[in-house]
Amino acid sequence: MNYWAPKGPSIEYVVADDDVLIHLGGTIDVSCREELKAALYLAMVTARNVTIEADELTFLDVGTVMLLGQTADHLRNRGRALHIVNPRPVVRRLLVTLHRGSLVPDQRCARDVDDSDRPGRPTS
Q: Write down the pTM of the prediction.
A: 0.78
Domains and CATH numbers, the chain: 10-102 (3.30.750.24)
Going residue by residue through the chain (124 aa), what tens digit of pLDDT does each one get?
444 445 678 889 898 888 999 999 999 999 999 999 999 998 888 888 999 999 999 999 999 999 999 999 999 999 999 999 999 999 999 999 999 999 998 754 444 444 444 445 444 4
| Residues 6 or more apart whose Cβ sits within 8 Å of residue 52 | 22, 23, 24, 68, 82, 83, 84, 85, 103
| Residues 6 or more apart whose Cβ sits within 8 Å of residue 21 | 13, 14, 51, 53
CA 80 to chain centre: 15
